Amino acid sequence: MLPEEVLEQASAEMTDWHGTGMSVMEMSHRGKEFSSIAERAESDLREILSVPDDYRILFLQGGASSQFAMVPMNLLRGRDTADYINTGSWSKKAIAEAGRFCRVNVAATAEASNFTTIPPREQWSLNPEAAYVHYTPNETIGGVEFHGIPDVGAVPLVADMSSTILSRPVDVSRFGVIYAGAQKNIGPAGLTIVIVRSDLMGEVLPGTPTMFNYEVHAKAGSMYNTPPTYSWYIAGLVFAWIKQRGGLEAMAEVNKRKSEKLYAFIDGSDFYSNPVDPACRSWMNVPFVLADPALDGKFLELAKEAGLVNLKGHRSVGGMRASIYNAMPEEGVDALIGFMADFEKRHA
């Protein structure tokens, strides 16, 4: 979802942005109008996430999936190995891609629990020679989330925050690189945010394409080539919306409450269940299954009739998944719980 207010504003400005007679889509990315949009978006993001001055924010394309390659290309810096924590589907993709560039040490894996837990930090076998440690703070498909930042000492920590960025405050100074595809919790698809500590840039793997070099984009203010201007603009409206709602503290409060009431309902029912260890359940993605999977189709059909859509679980795991990102209002979660209770009464 995108916030209703953001869509309304984008709609009002669609054909004529601020009296320029142009849509944002029609602007030159190097013109003063778009430059002001781009700068404002970056400074608002810097403010809401409290990004320290020695970090650069890049507005790129290619999705989080491109970052699976860009991270090793930029961060190996002469080393030949990196640590990865395997907590599910997205971790696995990051691991597979990194394996094309270096030796991957899977320092911990939740495979034994079928990815319903996070291996305790004490059990991780980190390699002190690793160029960096990569992890996935929120596994979007499995609904598993870290509720704290792991301590990995002096080795740069890299996080794929695609489905959790901006859902709560985070201490950016603990990270070497944070990256996120925008389409889950920021704005439209097509934009990828990378936040990188400046001293980690400048030594890419030989053969790295220009477009995959963080430093090239940092030096060019993310305008080495044409950036995804419209997605950047909408992301800026979302950052302003977050600021206006009280920032990430306010987002966290609502997100925590939304997820807790949904988990409480699921746990209180014999008809629905969620397999994830309560200590690492996601605030953003709540997977659940029905006691009788034969009712899945009926559940989805009636949910759709009630205006509750996109509840089908990822094709790799089945069941249901409620993605309750920042823009999902609390009333949306209440409506889902009401529907689920009613469905249970009629079909259990």
**Under 8 Å between Cβ of 133 and 158:** yes
Binding residue (CB under 6 A) for ligand PLP from 20, 43, 61, 65: 65
Identify the active-site residue in 17, 83, 92, 184. 184
Binding residue (CB under 6 A) for ligand PLP from 63, 72, 187, 287: 63
CB of 279 to ligand PLP, least distance (A): 19
Calpha distance 147→286 (Å, rounded) = 15
Binding mask 4-43 for ligand PLP (x = CB under 6 A): ----------------------------------------
CB of 157 to ligand PLP, least distance (A): 16
Q: Is 219 considered catalytic here? A: no
The separation between CA 234 and the C-alpha centre of its own chain, rounded to angstroms, equals: 16
Q: Give the 3-state secondary structure of residue 98.
A: helix
Calpha distance 77→243 (Å, rounded) = 37
Calpha distance 118→261 (Å, rounded) = 22
The reply to whether 140 sits near ligand PLP by the rule CB under 6 A is yes
Q: Is 184 considered catalytic here? A: yes
Binding residue (CB under 6 A) for ligand PLP from 2, 10, 64, 131: 64
Stretch that binds ligand PLP, among 158-166, 206-214, 276-284, 304-312 (CB under 6 A): 158-166
Q: Is 16 considered catalytic here? A: no
Q: CB-side exposure of 347: number of CA atoms within 13 Å?
A: 20
Q: Which is nearer to ligand PLP, 185 or 271 (CB)?
A: 185
Q: Give the 3-state secondary structure of residue 58.
A: strand
**Under 8 Å between Cβ of 131 and 77:** yes
What residues from 168 to 207 belong to the interface with ligand PLP (CB under 6 A)? Answer: 181, 184
Identify the active-site residue in 90, 232, 241, 283. 90
Binding residue (CB under 6 A) for ligand PLP from 160, 176, 201, 317: 160
Stretch that binds ligand PLP, among 79-87, 112-120, 159-167, 194-202 (CB under 6 A): 159-167
What residues from 99 to 138 belong to the interface with ligand PLP (CB under 6 A)? Answer: 136
Q: Give the 3-state secondary structure of residue 295.
A: helix
The residue behind tokens 């094309």 is: 100
Active site members = 90, 160, 184
Binding site for ligand PLP (CB under 6 A): 63-65, 90, 136, 140, 160, 162-163, 181, 184
